[in-house]
Amino acid sequence: MPGRNKVTKKTLSAGQRRGPPLAWVGWSFLILLAVVTVLYVGLKAVANPILFLQNLLDGLKLGFVYALIALGYTMVYGIVKLINFAHGDVFMVGAFTSYYAVSRFNLHMWPAAAFPSISPNLAVVLGSLTVILLSMAVCVILAVTIERVAYKPLRDAPRIAALITAIGVSFFLEFFGALPFVFSARFIPYKAPFSTHAWYIKDGIHPIISGQASPDNTISFSNIFLIIAAASILVQVLLQYIVKRTKIGIAMRAASYDKPTARLMGINVDRVISFTFAIGAAFAGLGGVLYAIAYSSIYTQLGVLPGLKAFVAAVLGGIGSIPGAFVGALIMGQAEAMTMGYISTPMRDAVAFSILIIVLLVKPTGLFGEPAQEKA
Amino acid sequence: MEQLGYLLSSTVKILGLIAWIFGLLWGLGRKPLWQKLLTIVAAFAVIQALFGFKIGSFQFFSAFDQGLLFQAVTMAMVALGLNLIYGFNGQFSLAQWGFYGLGAYCSADVTYRWSNGDAGGLIVVGLGVILAGVAIGLVRMFLNRKRGVPVLSAFTFYLFGILAAVFIAVQVGKPLATACLPLFGTVDAPGPLSAPIFLQIVFPLSVIFAGAFAAEVSFLFGLPVLSLGSDYFGIATLGFSIVVQTLMVNSDTILPFPEMKGGRGMIGITKLTTWFWAFAFLIFVIMLIRNFVRSSTGRATLAVREDEIAARAMGIDVASSKLLAFVLGSFVAGIGGGIYAHYIGFLSPNTFSFIKGFDPLIIVVFGGLGSLTGTVAAAFGWIFFLEGFLRVLLGQLGTDAPSWRFVLYPITLLLLMLLRPKGLLGTTEWGFFQASIVKRKIAAPLDKGKGEGVAATPPPPSEVGKPTTGNKH
Q: Please give the pLDDT value at position B453.
A: 42
Tens-place pLDDT, residues A276-313: 999 999 999 999 999 999 888 898 888 888 888 898 89
Report CB contact under 8 Å: A25, B243.
no
CA atoms within 13 A on the CB side of B471: 8
Q: What is the DSSP string of A14-48?
A: TT----STTHHHHHHHHHHHHHHHHHHHHHHHHH-
**Using CA atoms, how far apart are residues A287 and B215, in angstroms rounded to an integer?**
40
Where on the phi/psi map is residue B100: left (φ > 0), alpha (ψ -120 to 50), or beta? alpha
**Using CA atoms, how far apart are residues A28 and A15, in angstroms rounded to an integer?**
26
The domain limits of chain B are 64-356, 442-473
Q: Please give the pLDDT value at position A155.
A: 84
Q: Which residues contact A359 (CB under 8 A, 6 or more apart)?
A: A315, A316, A366, A367
Considering CB atoms only, which of B407, B411, B413 is closest to A164?
B413
Query: Which residues from chain A sit within 8 angstroms of residue B360, using beta carbons?
Result: none
Could you give the number of structural domains in chain A?
1
Cα of A344 to nearest chain B Cα, Å: 9
Q: What are the respective helix, strand and coil percentages of chain A, to the nearest 5?
A: 70, 5, 25
Q: Please give the pLDDT value at position B281.
A: 95
Considering CB atoms only, which of B242, B403, B418 is closest to A353?
B242
Q: Please give the pLDDT value at position B300.
A: 92
**Using CA atoms, how far apart are residues A242 and A230, in angstroms rounded to an integer?**
18
- Report yes or no: B139 at the A interface, CB cutoff 8 Å: no
Query: Which residues from chain B sit within 8 angstroms of residue A172, using beta carbons?
Result: 407, 410-411, 414
- Alpha helices (runs of H) in A246-321, residue ranges in sequence order: 247-257, 259-264, 269-295, 304-317
What letter does residue B190 receive in the DSSP assignment?
B
Q: Please give the pLDDT value at position B265.
A: 87
- Report yes or no: B401 at the A interface, CB cutoff 8 Å: no
Amino acid at site A19: G
Query: Which residues from chain B sit within 8 angstroms of residue A160, using beta carbons?
Result: 90, 92, 230-231, 234
In A, minimum Cα distance to B308 occurs at A376
**Using CA atoms, how far apart are residues A285 and A139, in angstroms rounded to an integer?**
6
Query: Which residues from chain A sit within 8 angstroms of residue B224, using beta carbons?
Result: 357, 361
Report CB contact under 8 Å: B414, A24.
no
Classify residue A312: in a domain, yes or no. Answer: no
Q: Please give the pLDDT value at position A371.
A: 57
In B, minimum Cα distance to A309 occurs at B239
Report CB contact under 8 Å: B250, A158.
no
By CB neighbour count within 10 A (0-12 exposed, 13-18 middle, 19+ buried), where does A35 fall? exposed
In A, minimum Cα distance to B410 occurs at A168
Cα of B228 to nearest chain A Cα, Å: 7
pTM of the full structure: 0.85
**Contact in structure between A190 and A297 (CB atoms under 8 Å):** yes
Three-state DSSP class for A219? strand
**Contact in structure between A356 and A312 (CB atoms under 8 Å):** yes
Cα dist. A312→A71, A211, A317 in Å?
A: 12, 36, 9
What letter does residue B61 receive in the DSSP assignment?
S
Q: Please give the pLDDT value at position B51.
A: 81
- Report yes or no: B150 at the A interface, CB cutoff 8 Å: yes
Query: Which residues from chain B sit within 8 angstroms of residue A373, using beta carbons?
Result: none
Q: Please give the pLDDT value at position B400.
A: 61
Residues 87-146 of A with CB under 8 A from B: none
Tens-place pLDDT, residues A112-147: 888 888 888 888 888 899 999 999 999 999 999 999
Give the closest residue to B296 by CA, choosing from B317, B282, B319, B281: B317
**Contact in structure between B271 and B343 (CB atoms under 8 Å):** yes
Which residue range(s) make up the domain with A188?
Answer: 63-301
In A, minimum Cα distance to B153 occurs at A26
Residues of chain B with pLDDT under 50: 444-473
**Using CA atoms, how far apart are residues B326 and B86, in angstroms rounded to an integer?**
9
Report CB contact under 8 Å: B242, A178.
no
Residues 224-253 of B with CB under 8 A from A: 224-225, 227-232, 234-236, 238-240, 242-243, 246-247, 249-250, 253
Tens-place pLDDT, residues A24-35: 888 898 899 889
Query: Which residues from chain B sit within 8 angstroms of residue A349, using beta carbons?
Result: 242-243, 246
- Report yes or no: A178 at the B interface, CB cutoff 8 Å: yes
Residues 296-325 of A with CB under 8 A from B: 308, 311-312, 315
Query: Which residues from chain A sit within 8 angstroms of residue B421, using beta carbons?
Result: 157-158, 161
**Using CA atoms, how far apart are residues A317 and B51, in angstroms rounded to an integer?**
58
Query: Which residues from chain B sit within 8 angstroms of residue A315, using beta carbons?
Result: 232, 235
Cα of A196 to nearest chain B Cα, Å: 32
Question: Helix crossing, A247-257 with A49-80: angle to 10°?
Answer: 80
In B, minimum Cα distance to A1 occurs at B142
Q: Number of Cβ pairs closer than 8 Å across A and B?
A: 159
Tell me what percent of the residues of chain A surpass a pLDDT of 70.
Answer: 93
Q: Please give the pLDDT value at position B436.
A: 59
Q: What are the respective helix, strand and coil percentages of chain B, to the nearest 5?
A: 75, 0, 25
Report CB contact under 8 Å: B152, A24.
no
- Alpha helices (runs of H) in B226-357, residue ranges in sequence order: 230-249, 275-294, 296-306, 308-313, 318-344
Amino acid at site A297: S
| A10 pLDDT more than 50 | no
Averaged pLDDT score across all residues of chain B: 83
Report CB contact under 8 Å: A179, B400.
yes
- Report yes or no: B411 at the A interface, CB cutoff 8 Å: yes
Q: Please give the pLDDT value at position B473.
A: 40
Confidence of residue A320 (pLDDT cuts 50, 70, 90): confident
| A8 pLDDT more than 60 | no
| A251 pLDDT more than 90 | yes
Considering CB atoms only, which of B231, B243, B413 is closest to A350?
B243
Residues in chain A: 376
Q: What is the DSSP string of B436-453?
A: -SS-----HHHHHHH-TT
* Stretch among A16-20, A261-265, B43-47 having the lowest mean pLDDT: A16-20
Q: Please give the pLDDT value at position B471.
A: 40
Tens-place pLDDT, residues A326-368: 999 999 999 999 988 888 787 888 888 888 878 877 777 778 8
Amino acid at site B68: L
Report CB contact under 8 Å: A350, B246.
yes
Considering CB atoms only, which of A153, A163, A167 is closest to B358?
A167
In A, minimum Cα distance to B227 occurs at A361
What letter does residue A188 receive in the DSSP assignment?
E
Tens-place pLDDT, residues A193-234: 888 788 888 777 778 777 677 777 778 888 889 999 999 999
Query: Which residues from chain B sit within 8 angstroms of residue A30, using beta carbons?
Result: 152
R_g (Cα) of chain A, nearest Å: 24
Query: Which residues from chain A sit within 8 angstroms of residue B147, using beta carbons?
Result: 21
